[in-house]
């Protein structure tokens, strides 16, 4: 037995009920790799091995392991980079890291990025078996969740989003991919297409779902205040700073930070944001100590990125950083087929809440000159009526944010309160 493993006699335990779980062992040292593979194969698991990160990535796509056990230190690509690449797979595996005592801090950072657990070398076999069983259970749970998500998506719902059109199915597919990763996301779409709902759905289905979801509307905050809003400030940092204030990066620690309308942020502030994304740390205004930035960035803009770059509204280097996943949201006029589906969902929720049995809306055949603008206004009014002017519920069922609903109420002259009958 090699120096990385201490053998103990242990009894085999149960397997995943769906069949033999698949494991992938990654280590550039042949003795350690093969020795570990023999041990886990003896517990009844199906095992493949890889001597490099590149070989491991190929097997993740082809072999589709449930769990990957990988050394943190690998040639050409370290375990952290390998972890990020595996998280982008169509079916990301659960990852267990093996690390020397000197790199425990790095392993903890890897867990923040999505690794399930880590073990220090030399590995105690009994401890490995317990951790591995937990990882297998986590992988099985992940498959069940994926199945439920697919069922929801096929029914035309994904979180608070609704729509069965091919365009929305494509949006759901990208949301699933983004949710399985920790990389930055850029959401594009006109005002009212549901960018914040998409950001929230990504967060709620990601490994950071247990953390906070913090929203910053970059267009609504004055340039003189946005740096303090995002990074926070110390007492006395400027006139009026009577106490320490935490910024959005700290408030979103362990979760996701949604930067809405990022192209409206001042370009100097964009440069400061870029430095945080590159260095993963920041300082409060007036502060001296560096603070770790542990928040996933999800950004959105209603501008065309190419036009924003050409006009100087958006820095190219910042766009490069945040544009790992791009999700383009179609406006309702490009998915008119979804209107009937949205109306049906409204009626179903109304019937459930009011214990009614409404079959459907009045047919629109009587008004064939009706414009899309008129149809949208009618849909909003019916949603408000269905929920007795409960605007958050109406917005959620319509698949738009509450902010967008208020904008449309003003646009169409719809009263904020329920009219007297």
State the pLDDT confidence band at 12, using cuts at 50, 70 and 90: very low
Convert 353-387 to b/e letters by CB count within 10 Å (16 or more is b): eeeeeeeeeeeeeeeeeeeeeebbbbbbbbbbebb
Look at residue 185 and tell me whether its pLDDT is greater than 90: yes
State the pLDDT confidence band at 4, using cuts at 50, 70 and 90: very low
| Residues above pLDDT 90, as percent of the chain | 31
Of the candidate ranges 1-15, 135-149, 211-225, the one whose mean pLDDT is the lowest: 1-15
For the chain, give the number of residues.
Answer: 421
φ and ψ at residue 30, rounded to 5 degrees: -60, -45
Mean pLDDT of 137-154: 68
Query: What integer best gives the mean pLDDT of the chain?
Result: 83
| pLDDT value for 265 | 93
What is the Cα–Cα distance from 144 to 150, expressed in whole angstroms?
A: 10
Look at residue 65 and tell me whether its pLDDT is greater than 60: yes
Between 287 and 154, whose confidence is greater?
287
pTM of the model: 0.58
Look at residue 5 and tell me whether its pLDDT is greater than 50: no
What is the Cα–Cα distance from 227 to 247, expressed in whole angstroms?
A: 9
Give the pLDDT confidence of 349-381 residue by residue, as tens digits: 778 777 777 777 666 554 457 677 888 888 899
Pairing of strands 117-120, 123-124: unpaired
Mean pLDDT of 92-111: 76
Q: What is the 3-state secondary structure (H, E, C) of the chain?
A: CCCCEECCCCCCCCCCCCCCCEEEEECCCHHHHHHHHHHHHHCCCEEEEECCHHHHHHHHHHCCCCEEEEECCCCCCCHHHHHHHHHCCCCCCEEEEEECHHHHHHHHHHHHCCCCEEEECCEEHHHHHHHHHHHHHHHHHHHHHHHHHHHHHHCCEECCEECCCHHHHHHHHHHHHHHCCCCCEEEECCCCCCHHHHHHHHHHCCCCCCCCEEEEECCCCCHHHHHHHHHEECCCCCCCCCCCEECHHHHCCCCEEEEECHHHCCHHHHHHHHHHHHHCEECCECCCCCEECCCEEEEEECCCHHHHHHCCCCCHHHHHHHCCEEEECCCHHHCCCHHHHHHHHHHHHHHHHHCCCCCCCCCHHHCCCCCHHHHHHHHHHHHHHHCCCCHHHHHHHHCCCHHHHHHHHHHHCCCCCCCCC
Mean pLDDT of 324-332: 91
Give the pLDDT confidence of 25-47 residue by residue, as tens digits: 999 999 989 999 999 999 999 99
What is the Cα–Cα distance from 165 to 339, expressed in whole angstroms?
A: 10
Q: How far is CA 415 from the centre of its chain?
A: 35
| pLDDT value for 104 | 65
Beta bridge partners of 49: 25
What is the Cα–Cα distance from 134 to 140, expressed in whole angstroms?
A: 10
Between 412 and 142, whose confidence is greater?
412
Q: Which is it for the CA torsion 18, 83, 291, 198, positive or negative?
A: negative
Mean pLDDT of 225-234: 89
| pLDDT value for 278 | 85
| Residues above pLDDT 70, as percent of the chain | 87
Mean pLDDT of 377-402: 86
Look at residue 11 and tell me whether its pLDDT is greater than 60: no
Between 127 and 361, whose confidence is greater?
127
Give the pLDDT confidence of 292-309 residue by residue, as tens digits: 888 999 999 999 999 999
């Amino acid at each position: 037995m090699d120096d990385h493993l201490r053998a103990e006699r242990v009894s085999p335990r149960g397997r995943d009920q769906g069949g033999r779980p698949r494991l992938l062992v990654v280590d550039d040292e042949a003795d350690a790799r093969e020795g570990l593979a023999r041990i886990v194969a003896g517990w009844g698991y199906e095992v493949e091995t890889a001597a490099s990160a590149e070989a491991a990535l190929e097997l993740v796509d082809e072999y589709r392991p449930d769990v990957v056990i990988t050394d943190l230190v690998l040639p050409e690509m370290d375990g952290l980079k390998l972890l990020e690449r595996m998280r982008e797979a169509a079916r990301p595996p659960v990852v267990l890291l093996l690390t020397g005592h000197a790199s425990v801090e790095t392993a903890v950072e890897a867990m923040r990025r999505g690794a399930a657990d880590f073990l220090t070398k030399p590995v105690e076999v009994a401890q490995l078996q317990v951790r591995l069983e937990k990882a297998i259970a986590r992988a099985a749970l992940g498959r069940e969740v994926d199945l439920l998500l697919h069922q929801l998506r096929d029914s035309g719902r994904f979180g608070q989003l609704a729509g069965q059109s091919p365009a929305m199915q494509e949006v759901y597919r990208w949301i699933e991919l983004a949710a399985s990763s920790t990389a930055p996301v850029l959401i594009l779409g006109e005002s009212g297409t549901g960018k914040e709902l998409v950001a929230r759905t990504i967060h709620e289905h990601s490994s950071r779902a247990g953390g906070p979801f913090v929203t910053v509307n970059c267009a609504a905050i004055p340039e003189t205040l946005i740096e303090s809003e995002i990074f926070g400030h110390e007492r006395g940092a400027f006139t009026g700073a009577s106490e320490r204030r935490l910024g959005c990066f700290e408030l979103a620690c362990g979760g996701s930070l949604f930067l809405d309308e990022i192209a409206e942020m001042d370009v100097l502030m964009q440069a400061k944001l870029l430095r945080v994304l590159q260095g993963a740390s920041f300082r409060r205004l007036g502060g001296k100590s560096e603070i770790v930035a542990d928040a996933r960035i999800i950004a959105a803009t209603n501008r065309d990125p190419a036009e924003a770059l050409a006009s100087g509204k958006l820095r190219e280097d910042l766009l490069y950083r945040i544009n790992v996943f791009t999700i383009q949201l179609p406006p309702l006029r490009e998915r008119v087929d979804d209107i009937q589906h949205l109306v049906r969902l409204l009626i179903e929720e109304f019937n459930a809440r009011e214990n009614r049995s409404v079959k459907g809306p009045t047919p629109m055949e009587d008004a064939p000159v009706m414009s899309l603008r008129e149809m949208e206004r009618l849909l909003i009014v019916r949603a408000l009526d269905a929920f007795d002017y409960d605007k958050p519920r109406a917005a959620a069922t319509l698949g738009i944010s509450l902010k967008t609903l208020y904008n449309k109420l003003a646009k169409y002259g719809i009263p904020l309160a329920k009219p007297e009958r």
